[in-house]
């Protein structure tokens, strides 16, 4: 059986080659994402493993007639056309948990960078300017953190916030009175959270129902001068609305590990294409505006990227593939395969 891994680093290839050797797979590694240009390397693949920059559209999937199983090395799977997989009965597995603490730690790295002006201090210092002008920050202790989405990552953020002595408000469609009592936080409606929080942090999945969760109307409801943090998915935020909120002073600073259409910022040559959609171009330009604001800290989607978290991703991916080979799939995305 042929398996092809896209978006792989050398150390990942060494690990995967070693642990998959006993399973008699024909394994191919491709350093780049799966695209029209790299598709030929997966033409006869029955197993495919990708990361978030491989967009498995229905059109691409039609060109993989032997494909039976997709193992995405991510928690989210919005880069995969699940409807097309359902039609073809292609099983999909993900990595449901690997870096809850990792992403939560990065969330606080962004919060601290903004609350203590660390990014500004760094730039001044390397220029030889050791003055304190413009660098005064504020304490997290006693401030209110609004956590939108109390899943695995959100709960780790709450625990860390309590370590800083913060009050925590939570908005989630599913509520756990037990966790609320144990971790000492309050569930509130989203509008209440936005209007009462000194810092708002997003930790919800990207779904059709959460697209542009933070739009202009929602930013209008935020407490004036609050910080805004997003380490979840770029599509949760209307980029134009965020730029507006920053211009109006509603949001005093933003910490972003993800951007709407972030692949367009990374692949700037796409911007030069004559058939590039105007709405995507507008989003890309707004992202570039954010990159040059001193009250915005942007990191290149690295919240998950710790040595330990990446190792857990690979271990879970191997378990997913071995489970598929043995007829006992694990971490399967629900609702794709028809019940027998």
Q: What is the per-residue pLDDT across 12-55, written as a single tens digit (0 to 9) for each?
A: 999 999 999 999 899 999 999 999 999 999 999 999 999 988 99
**269 and 126: one domain?**
yes
In a domain, 31, yes or no: yes
**125 and 243: one domain?**
yes
Query: Residue 222: pLDDT above 60?
Result: yes
At 101-156, the pLDDT tens digits run 999 999 999 999 999 999 999 999 999 999 999 999 999 999 999 999 999 999 99
**118 and 216: one domain?**
yes
**48 and 151: one domain?**
no
* pLDDT value at residue 297: 97
In a domain, 339, yes or no: no
**50 and 192: one domain?**
no
**56 and 130: one domain?**
no
* pLDDT value at residue 265: 52
**84 and 120: one domain?**
no
Active site residue 301: yes
The CATH number of the domain holding residue 45 is: 3.40.50.720
- Where residue 197 falls among pLDDT bands split at 50, 70, 90? very high
At 233-243, the pLDDT tens digits run 999 999 999 99
Catalytic residue among 262, 268, 294, 308: 262
Percent of the chain predicted with pLDDT > 70: 92
Catalytic residue among 106, 119, 156, 233: 233
Catalytic residue among 301, 308, 315, 340: 301
* pLDDT value at residue 76: 84
Structural domain span for residue 188: 100-298
* pLDDT value at residue 273: 41
In a domain, 181, yes or no: yes
In a domain, 337, yes or no: no
**17 and 155: one domain?**
no
Comparing 328 with 275, the larger pLDDT belongs to 328
Query: Residue 270: pLDDT above 90?
Result: no
d(CA 183, CA 195): 22
In a domain, 56, yes or no: yes
**14 and 92: one domain?**
yes
Place of tokens 């799939």: 329
Active site residue 116: no
**162 and 208: one domain?**
yes
Are the beta carbons of 303 and 98 closer than 8 angstroms? no
**165 and 40: one domain?**
no
In a domain, 331, yes or no: no
* pLDDT value at residue 97: 87
Per the structure, the count of domains in the chain is 2
* pLDDT value at residue 264: 54
At 287-325, the pLDDT tens digits run 778 888 999 999 989 999 999 999 999 999 999 999 999
Active site residue 233: yes
**74 and 109: one domain?**
no
In a domain, 333, yes or no: no
* pLDDT value at residue 336: 85
In a domain, 217, yes or no: yes
């Amino acid at each position: 059986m042929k398996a092809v891994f896209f978006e792989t680093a050398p150390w990942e290839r060494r690990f995967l080659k070693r642990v998959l050797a006993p399973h008699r797979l024909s394994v191919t590694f491709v350093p780049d994402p799966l695209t029209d240009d790299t598709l030929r390397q997966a033409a006869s693949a029955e197993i495919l493993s990708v990361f978030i920059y491989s967009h498995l559209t229905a059109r691409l999937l039609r060109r993989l007639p032997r494909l039976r199983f997709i193992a995405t090395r991510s928690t989210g799977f919005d880069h995969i056309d699940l409807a097309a997989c359902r039609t073809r009965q292609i099983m999909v597995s993900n990595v449901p948990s690997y870096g809850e603490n990792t992403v939560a730690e990065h969330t606080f790295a962004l919060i601290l960078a903004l609350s203590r002006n660390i990014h500004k201090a760094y730039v001044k210092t390397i220029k030889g300017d050791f003055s304190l002008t413009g660098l005064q920050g504020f304490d997290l202790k006693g401030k209110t953190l609004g956590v939108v989405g109390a899943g695995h990552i959100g709960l780790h953020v709450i625990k860390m916030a309590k370590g800083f002595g913060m009050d925590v408000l939570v908005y989630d469609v599913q509520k756990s009175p037990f966790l609320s009592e144990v971790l000492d936080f309050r569930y509130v409606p989203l509008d209440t959270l936005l209007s009462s929080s000194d810092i708002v942090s997003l930790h919800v999945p990207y779904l059709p129902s959460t697209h542009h969760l933070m739009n202009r109307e929602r930013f209008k409801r935020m407490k004036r001068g609050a910080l805004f943090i997003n380490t979840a998915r770029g599509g949760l935020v209307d980029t134009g609305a965020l730029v507006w909120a920053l211009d109006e002073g509603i949001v005093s600073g933003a910490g972003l590990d993800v951007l709407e259409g972030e692949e367009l910022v990374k692949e700037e040559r796409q911007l030069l294409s004559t058939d590039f959609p105007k709405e995507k171009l507008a989003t890309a330009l707004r992202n570039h505006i954010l990159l040059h604001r001193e009250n915005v800290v942007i990191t290149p989607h690295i919240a998950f990227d710790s040595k330990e978290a990446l190792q857990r991703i690979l271990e879970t991916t191997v378990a997913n593939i071995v489970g598929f080979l043995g007829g006992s799939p694990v971490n399967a995305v629900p609702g794709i395969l028809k019940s027998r």
